[in-house]
Amino acid sequence: MSPLIWSGFILLVVVLVFLDLGVFHREAHRPSVGEALLWSGFWIALAIAFDGFIFALYGGRLEPLLADPATAISGGDAAVQFLTAYVLEKSLSIDNIFVIALIFAYFAIPHERQHRLLFWGILGAVVLRGVMIGLGAVLLAQFAWIIYVFGVLLLASAVKLLVAREDKVAIDENIFICLLRRFFPISESTSSGDFWVKTSAGWAATPMLLALVLIETSDVMFAVDSIPAVFAVTKDPFLVFTSNIFAILGLRSLYFVLAGCLVEFRYLKSSLVFVLAYVGVKMLLAHHFPIPNLVSLAVIGGILAVGIVASLVDARREAQLAAAEDRRRPEEA
């Protein structure tokens, strides 16, 4: 891909991030579910519009210097690969939301400060994932067999997610949190929203900083799963990077949409187990029985749809049982 396209995309991300925090969300507040839904819809629409750009770029409808003439991928294939990678990353980011909610609860981060904290966490994730995607692309280019390592890694991640507890985050075991607590005093204040505060004993780290460090290090662990998964969809570094970034940029709004109703979507994590397992098998079969990306898009979408519908049906059944129990109590009294 041309350096001009890479530079243009990075500039677009910088502008979007600046407008998000510096203009539209300058004041600290807790976004309502309606506001979060609108912003989540905006990020999804932006990703779909960018997919149209991908179709034109790889299809040769733009200036020839914009696309790599050596690429064998067509505009339609590139658009399907980007969309599949985006849906995959978006679905895997749901697991981030579960962990972020636990981190915020542990450090008692006020609701009005969570948006700013998520902004900095996502900005750091953009940089870290860019580095990891570059490393993954180099490994795949140099060692074709690494795809089998990625496949096994995803299957292991699926098993780990299946048996992991949802109500526990190893905060006290995080090496960076331990180092901060060892070398710096820790303030309990989160009212200012700052990461450092001046005390009589000097500068002290706040729970905001501890939460940010934990979010960043947790994202690295999630990236170990999600980046190999995207390489199962496409080997094109530009498509891998852009699909990752668009999924991450929409993570903050998606958090405020789902944070208040995570309990109702209880089967989403189970859906992610099957998504990871499917993508792991896809990577292991890549050299012998390649699965078309349209099929992968349908399978991933179907798995997520089943998880969502099952969650809603189960939540509705429990609500009906609770309502029936409430009606029965006055009659028994």
Q: What are the pLDDT digits (tens) for 43-66? A: 889 999 999 888 888 876 665 545
Q: Where are the domains of the chain?
A: 3-332
Q: Give residue for tokens 């991928």.
A: 73
User: What does DSSP assign to residue 170?
Assistant: -
Least confident window among 90-99, 160-169, 271-280: 160-169
pLDDT value of residue 62 = 60
**Single-letter amino acid code for the residue at 157:** S
Q: How far apart are CA 302 and CA 283, in angstroms?
A: 19
User: What does DSSP assign to residue 165?
Assistant: -
- The H or E element containing residue 13 is helix 3-18
210-255 confidence digits (pLDDT tens): 888 888 877 777 777 677 777 878 888 888 889 888 888 887 777 7
Can you give the pTM of this predicted structure? 0.74
Mean pLDDT of 171-195: 72
* Helix/strand/coil (H/E/C) assignment for every residue in 76-144: HHHHHHHHHHHHHHHHHHHHHHHHHHHHHHHHCCCHHHHHHHHHHHHHHHHHHHHHHHHHHHHHHHHCC
For the chain, the 3-state helix, strand and coil shares in percent, each to the nearest 5, are: 75, 5, 25
For 251-305, give the DSSP string: HHHHHHHHGGGTTTTTTHHHHHHHHHHHHHHHHHTTTTSPPPHHHHHHHHHHHHH
Residue 331, class by beta-carbon neighbours within 10 Å (0-12 exposed, 13-18 middle, 19+ buried)?
exposed
pLDDT greater than 60 at residue 167: no
pLDDT value of residue 261 = 62
Average pLDDT in the chain: 75
Three-state DSSP state, 186: strand
Contact between 95 and 226 under an 8 Å Cβ cutoff? The reply is no
> Residue 177: phi, psi to the nearest 5?
-65, -40
Distance of CA 310 to the CA centre of its chain: 22
Q: How far apart are CA 333 and CA 319, in angstroms?
A: 22
Q: Give residue for tokens 């006290």.
A: 172
pLDDT greater than 70 at residue 3: yes
Q: Would you state the structure tokens that stand for residue 123, as one six-digit string?
A: 């900005």
| Non-local CB neighbours of 74 within 8 Å, separated by 6+ positions | 58, 59
Mean pLDDT of 9-24: 76
